[in-house]
Structure 1
Amino acid sequence: MDFTEKFELHECPICGGAGLMEEEDHGYYVACLDCGSYTGTVGYKTEEGREQAAEKSAMLWNTGKVINSAPGE
Protein backbone atom coordinates (compact mmCIF):
# COMPACT_ATOMS: atom_id res chain seq x y z
CA MET A 1 0.00 0.00 0.00
CA ASP A 2 1.20 3.51 -0.78
CA PHE A 3 1.10 5.65 2.37
CA THR A 4 2.53 8.80 0.78
CA GLU A 5 -0.94 10.23 0.09
CA LYS A 6 -2.66 9.02 3.25
CA PHE A 7 -1.27 11.70 5.58
CA GLU A 8 -1.92 15.44 5.30
CA LEU A 9 1.24 17.53 5.05
CA HIS A 10 1.31 21.17 6.09
CA GLU A 11 3.22 23.82 4.18
CA CYS A 12 6.99 23.90 4.61
CA PRO A 13 7.88 25.44 7.98
CA ILE A 14 10.82 27.28 6.37
CA CYS A 15 9.44 28.73 3.12
CA GLY A 16 5.76 27.78 2.91
CA GLY A 17 6.29 25.48 -0.09
CA ALA A 18 4.71 22.10 -0.70
CA GLY A 19 6.04 19.01 1.03
CA LEU A 20 6.34 15.61 -0.64
CA MET A 21 6.62 12.32 1.24
CA GLU A 22 9.10 9.86 -0.24
CA GLU A 23 9.98 6.25 0.55
CA GLU A 24 13.61 5.20 0.29
CA ASP A 25 15.50 2.14 1.54
CA HIS A 26 12.99 1.00 4.19
CA GLY A 27 12.23 4.51 5.43
CA TYR A 28 10.10 7.58 4.84
CA TYR A 29 10.99 11.27 4.81
CA VAL A 30 9.29 14.51 3.73
CA ALA A 31 11.05 17.13 1.61
CA CYS A 32 10.08 20.60 0.43
CA LEU A 33 9.75 20.94 -3.32
CA ASP A 34 10.83 24.60 -3.17
CA CYS A 35 13.67 25.09 -0.66
CA GLY A 36 14.84 21.50 -0.13
CA SER A 37 14.23 21.34 3.63
CA TYR A 38 13.59 17.78 4.78
CA THR A 39 12.91 15.57 7.77
CA GLY A 40 15.21 12.83 8.87
CA THR A 41 14.37 9.41 7.46
CA VAL A 42 12.14 7.33 9.71
CA GLY A 43 13.03 3.69 9.11
CA TYR A 44 11.01 0.52 9.41
CA LYS A 45 12.01 -3.14 9.54
CA THR A 46 8.68 -4.88 9.12
CA GLU A 47 5.66 -4.34 6.93
CA GLU A 48 3.66 -3.58 10.08
CA GLY A 49 6.03 -0.72 10.94
CA ARG A 50 5.81 0.79 7.48
CA GLU A 51 2.63 2.82 8.07
CA GLN A 52 3.93 3.98 11.47
CA ALA A 53 7.13 5.24 9.83
CA ALA A 54 5.15 7.19 7.24
CA GLU A 55 2.91 8.66 9.95
CA LYS A 56 5.90 9.68 12.07
CA SER A 57 7.65 11.39 9.15
CA ALA A 58 4.46 13.37 8.44
CA MET A 59 4.26 14.31 12.14
CA LEU A 60 7.89 15.51 12.12
CA TRP A 61 7.18 17.68 9.06
CA ASN A 62 3.93 19.07 10.42
CA THR A 63 5.58 20.06 13.72
CA GLY A 64 8.49 21.81 11.99
CA LYS A 65 11.23 19.28 12.79
CA VAL A 66 13.13 19.79 9.53
CA ILE A 67 16.70 20.12 8.34
CA ASN A 68 17.63 23.09 6.18
CA SER A 69 21.07 23.69 4.70
CA ALA A 70 20.71 27.46 4.44
CA PRO A 71 23.44 29.53 6.14
CA GLY A 72 22.75 29.98 9.84
CA GLU A 73 20.40 27.01 10.10
Structure 2
Amino acid sequence: MDITEKIELHDCPICGGAGILEEEDMGYYVACLDCGSYTGTVGYKDESGKLTAAEKSAMLWNTGKVINSAPGE
Protein backbone atom coordinates (compact mmCIF):
# COMPACT_ATOMS: atom_id res chain seq x y z
CA MET A 1 0.00 0.00 0.00
CA ASP A 2 1.22 3.48 -0.87
CA ILE A 3 1.94 5.87 2.03
CA THR A 4 -0.34 8.52 0.54
CA GLU A 5 -3.29 6.11 0.83
CA LYS A 6 -2.68 5.73 4.60
CA ILE A 7 -2.73 9.46 5.35
CA GLU A 8 -5.99 11.36 5.90
CA LEU A 9 -6.01 14.98 4.75
CA HIS A 10 -8.64 17.55 5.62
CA ASP A 11 -9.80 20.18 3.14
CA CYS A 12 -7.56 23.20 2.63
CA PRO A 13 -7.69 25.51 5.66
CA ILE A 14 -7.58 28.57 3.35
CA CYS A 15 -10.05 27.80 0.54
CA GLY A 16 -11.62 24.42 1.32
CA GLY A 17 -10.04 22.76 -1.73
CA ALA A 18 -8.48 19.31 -1.89
CA GLY A 19 -4.97 18.75 -0.60
CA ILE A 20 -2.41 16.35 -2.02
CA LEU A 21 0.54 14.77 -0.23
CA GLU A 22 3.70 15.09 -2.34
CA GLU A 23 7.15 13.57 -1.94
CA GLU A 24 10.16 15.65 -2.93
CA ASP A 25 13.90 15.28 -2.26
CA MET A 26 13.74 13.07 0.84
CA GLY A 27 10.72 14.86 2.31
CA TYR A 28 6.95 15.28 2.21
CA TYR A 29 4.69 18.31 1.99
CA VAL A 30 0.97 18.89 1.39
CA ALA A 31 -0.32 21.35 -1.21
CA CYS A 32 -3.78 22.59 -2.16
CA LEU A 33 -4.85 21.78 -5.69
CA ASP A 34 -6.99 24.94 -5.85
CA CYS A 35 -5.25 27.88 -4.17
CA GLY A 36 -1.68 26.61 -3.95
CA SER A 37 -1.29 26.83 -0.17
CA TYR A 38 1.27 24.37 1.15
CA THR A 39 3.07 23.13 4.24
CA GLY A 40 6.78 23.20 4.80
CA THR A 41 8.63 20.07 3.75
CA VAL A 42 9.18 17.50 6.49
CA GLY A 43 12.35 15.57 5.69
CA TYR A 44 13.47 12.02 6.37
CA LYS A 45 16.92 10.41 6.30
CA ASP A 46 16.09 6.84 5.30
CA GLU A 47 13.21 4.60 4.29
CA SER A 48 12.23 3.94 7.91
CA GLY A 49 11.41 7.64 8.40
CA LYS A 50 9.15 8.07 5.37
CA LEU A 51 5.86 7.31 7.11
CA THR A 52 6.66 9.55 10.08
CA ALA A 53 7.56 12.45 7.77
CA ALA A 54 4.35 11.99 5.78
CA GLU A 55 2.27 11.89 8.98
CA LYS A 56 3.93 15.05 10.34
CA SER A 57 3.32 16.88 7.08
CA ALA A 58 -0.35 15.84 7.16
CA MET A 59 -0.62 16.98 10.78
CA LEU A 60 0.68 20.43 9.81
CA TRP A 61 -1.92 20.60 7.02
CA ASN A 62 -4.78 19.30 9.13
CA THR A 63 -4.08 21.84 11.89
CA GLY A 64 -3.93 24.78 9.46
CA LYS A 65 -0.19 25.46 9.56
CA VAL A 66 0.16 26.36 5.89
CA ILE A 67 1.89 28.94 3.71
CA ASN A 68 -0.24 31.00 1.36
CA SER A 69 1.13 33.44 -1.17
CA ALA A 70 -1.94 35.68 -1.28
CA PRO A 71 -1.30 39.40 -0.71
CA GLY A 72 -1.18 40.22 3.00
CA GLU A 73 -0.49 36.68 4.13
Name the % identity: 85
Q: Residue 36 of structure 1 aligns with which residue?
A: 36
**5+ residue gaps in structure 1?**
none
What is the Cα deviation at residue 4 of structure 1? 1.2
1:25, distance to aligned residue in structure 2 (A): 0.6
TM-score by length of 2: 0.96
Q: CA–CA distance in 2 between the matches of 1:31 and 1:45?
A: 22
Q: Which has the higher helix share?
A: 2
The alignment's TM-score, normalised by the length of structure 1, stands at 0.96
Runs of 4+ deviating beyond 2 Å: none
Q: CA RMSD in A?
A: 0.9
* Number of matched pairs: 73
What stretches of structure 2 of length at least 5 have no aligned partner? none
